[in-house]
Structure 1
Amino acid sequence: MRNIPVAEVDGLDRAVLAIGTDYPPGHLLPCHEHRRAQFLYAATGVMRVGTADGAWTVPTHRAVLIPAMTPHRVAMEGVSTRSLYIEPGAVPWFPTRCRVVDVSALLRELVLAAVDMAPRYPEHGRDATVVRLILHEIANLAPLPLDLPLPADPRLRALCEAFLRDPGIHDPPARWAAALAVSERTLGRLFRTGTGLSFAQWRGRACVLHSLGQLAAGAPVARVAATLGYENPAAFTTAFKRLLGQPPTAYADSGAAVRGRDGR
């Protein structure tokens, strides 16, 4: 199925519904929720998924697991998605909080195949076997550190969200403390309590995750590093590898191969 709302087929008596959707540049899906659990895969582009307690960046070839009935919004940057909507009873092991996962080559091919299956696929035979194998593969996916916790405190959250729109690695904690009319020590406690990270850890993670969209769009590493305020590309690369275990070049315009083969 392609480019149809899940609501039109949600009532079908099948454990998994697969839908491919193409979105215009800069598209925003406002806050919504699904009765089914969702496996949301970025065939191209980069997605940013936001909930009440955090934000998840989803680069090309990766996916986010969204639990059933979880209010979320999705910002799209050049995105074509392949979504699996899964009956909660079929995935009792599904996470209770959003999670970004790496997607193996096998699972990617299975998901692409599922999108071309009939919505009411036979309960026995090849298509049903594809679905069972998909669920087996999803259960064993490796999580990726592409989440950014957001605090519940409304004043601190507002500052965090403003930072995410224009991040900088050297944004001083003194500025944040002054905006909240607290000491820097108190700011540190607020960050620890609200996010589980120190201010510097949160700021660094936010900068690296922000860079993924620029890298996927083809921006040179040196330009991305400069935009975020790093002294040089090497400093940015070190921070990037520390968080994601790979250099920035591993995420640079990584949608090209998929666009060439599955740019439908």
Structure 2
Amino acid sequence: MRNIPVAEVDGLDRAVLAIGTDYPADHLLPWHEHRRAQVLYAATGVMRVETADGSWTIPTARAVLIPPTTRHQVTMTGVSTRSLYLEPAAVPWFPARCQAVDVSALLRELILEAVEMDPYYPEHGRDAAVAALLLHELRNLAPLPLDVPLPSEPRLRGLCEEFLDKPDIHDPPARWCAALNVSERTLARLFRRGTGLSFSEWRQRACVLHSLHHLTTGLPVTRVAALLGYDNPAAYTAAFGKLLGRPPTAYRQPRR
């Protein structure tokens, strides 16, 4: 199925529904939720998925698992998605919180094939076998550290969301302290309690994940490092590799 709302087929008696959707450039899918669990796969482009407790940056050929009834919004840059909508009873192992995952070559082909299936596929036969194999493969996905946790405290969360839109690796904690009217010790405590990370850890994580947007547009690594305020490309590359285990060039795509 392509470019149809999931609400039109949500009630079908099938454990797996697959929908392919093409979005315009720089599209925002506003806050919403689904009854079913969702596997949101980025066939092209990069997505930022936001929920009440975090932000997930999903580059091309990766996916995010979104639990049932989880309110979320998605910011898309050059994105074409392939989504699996799964009956909750069919995936009792599904995570309770969104999770970014790697996608194997086999799973990718299964997702692409499922989108071409008739939504009323017979309960026995080839298409049903594809759906069953999908459910099996989804249980063995490797998680990826592509999330930035967000605090619940409103003022701190607001500053975090502003930073995510325009990150700077040298943004000083003193600026945050002045905005919140707190000491650096209190800021450190708020960050640790709200995100599980220190301020510097959170800041670096946010910068690295934001850079995925630039890399997938083909921007040179030296330019990406400069945009984020790193002193040199080597410092940016080291931070990127520490978080994601691969160099930025592994995510970079040639400029169109």
Equivalenced residue count is: 256
Deviations 1:82-103 (A, max 9, x none): 0000000000000000000000
Q: TM-score, normalised by structure 1?
A: 0.96
Report the CA distance shift for 1:229/1:141 in structure 2 as closer, same or farther (over 3 A): same
CA contact (8 A) 2:66 2:97 kept: yes
1:180: Cα distance to partner?
0.6
Deviations 1:137-163 (A, max 9, x none): 111000000011000000000110111
Report what 1:2 is aligned to. Answer: 2
Report what 1:225 is aligned to. Answer: 225
**Within 2, Cα distance between the matches of 1:46 and 1:253?**
11
SS at match of 2:236: helix
CA contact (8 A) 1:44 1:255 kept: no
Amino acid in structure 1 at the alignment position of 2:43? A
Deviations 1:86-137 (A, max 9, x none): 0000000000000000000000000000000111111111111111111111
Report the CA distance shift for 1:55/1:205 in structure 2 as closer, same or farther (over 3 A): same
Amino acid in structure 1 at the alignment position of 2:85? Y
Report the CA distance shift for 1:26/1:97 in structure 2 as closer, same or farther (over 3 A): same
**Within 1, Cα distance between the matches of 2:178 and 2:191?**
15
Report what 2:159 is aligned to. Answer: 159
**Within 2, Cα distance between the matches of 1:17 and 1:255?**
34
Report what 1:101 is aligned to. Answer: 101
Structure 1 segments (4+ residues) deviating >3 Å: none
Amino acid in structure 1 at the alignment position of 2:67? P
Amino acid in structure 2 at the alignment position of 1:208? V
CA contact (8 A) 1:45 1:255 kept: no
Indicate yes or no: 2:65 matched with 1:65. Answer: yes
Q: TM-score, normalised by structure 2?
A: 0.99
CA contact (8 A) 1:215 1:251 kept: yes
Report what 1:259 is aligned to. Answer: none
Task: List runs of 5+ in structure 1 lacking aligned partners.
Answer: 257-264
Report what 1:234 is aligned to. Answer: 234
Amino acid in structure 1 at the alignment position of 2:248? P
Task: List runs of 5+ in structure 2 lacking aligned partners.
Answer: none
Report the CA distance shift for 1:255/1:53 in structure 2 as closer, same or farther (over 3 A): farther
Deviations 1:173-214 (A, max 9, x none): 011011111111110000000000000000000000000000
Amino acid in structure 2 at the alignment position of 1:101? V
Amino acid in structure 1 at the alignment position of 2:160? C
Indicate yes or no: 2:124 matched with 1:121. Answer: no
CA contact (8 A) 2:150 2:195 kept: yes
**Within 2, Cα distance between the matches of 1:83 and 1:165?**
26
Percent identity of paired positions between Structure 1 and Structure 2: 75
SS at match of 1:19: strand
1:58: Cα distance to partner?
0.6
Report what 2:75 is aligned to. Answer: 75
Report what 1:260 is aligned to. Answer: none
CA RMSD of aligned residues (A): 1.1
Amino acid in structure 1 at the alignment position of 2:46? V
**Within 1, Cα distance between the matches of 2:255 and 2:191?**
35
Report what 2:179 is aligned to. Answer: 179
